Amino acid sequence: MADTIFVLNGPNLNLLGAREPEIYGHDTLDDIAGMLEDRAQALDLTIDMRQSNHEGHLIDWMHEAQAMGAKAILLNAAGFTHTSVALHDAIKAVATPVIEVHLSNPHAREEFRHISLVGRAARGTIAGFGALSYLLALEAAARF
């Protein structure tokens, strides 16, 4: 699985395309998955894309990514970004590099979004470029 990139998406991202498109854009999670799969194929990588509204699933999947020898994890923790010590600790617990991804720029939004517990543990953060944020993170992960 050294050629696999896990792409983990947190709460409410299943509603992309319909939920606040002025902030998150019109691309659905399926659209983003398609873009990632196309680019991953060109990079000789495989995408394992998942979404859950439950924090524990994201943690279990990070553990699974490490156990399976994944190359990297792209994590859009969504609302958990700012609140989850458990996700922070899970990122610190796995050796698999984690890149934090956001569609919007949290620093240009409400003040409570300016603190990222996920980002404090992640290898790096890419934010503010809409769906392109995922592709930029994939490009970075391909170089690990």
What CATH number is given to the structural domain containing 9?
Answer: 3.40.50.9100
Using 50, 70 and 90 to split pLDDT, how confident is the model at 108? low
Total structural domains within the chain: 1
For residue range 56-72, list pLDDT tens digits in order: 999 999 999 999 999 99
Annotated catalytic residue 24: yes
The whole-model pTM stands at: 0.94
Laid out side by side, the sheet with 98-102 consists of 46-51, 4-9, 72-76, 98-102, 124-127
Domain extent, residue 91, equals: 4-142
Enumerate the H helices of 52-119 as residue ranges. Answer: 55-67, 85-93
CA distance 84 to 75: 13
Angle at 64 between CA 63 and CA 66, to 5 degrees: 65
pLDDT value, residue 2: 80
Choice among 24, 57, 63, 134 that is catalytic: 24
Choice among 82, 102, 114, 134 that is catalytic: 102
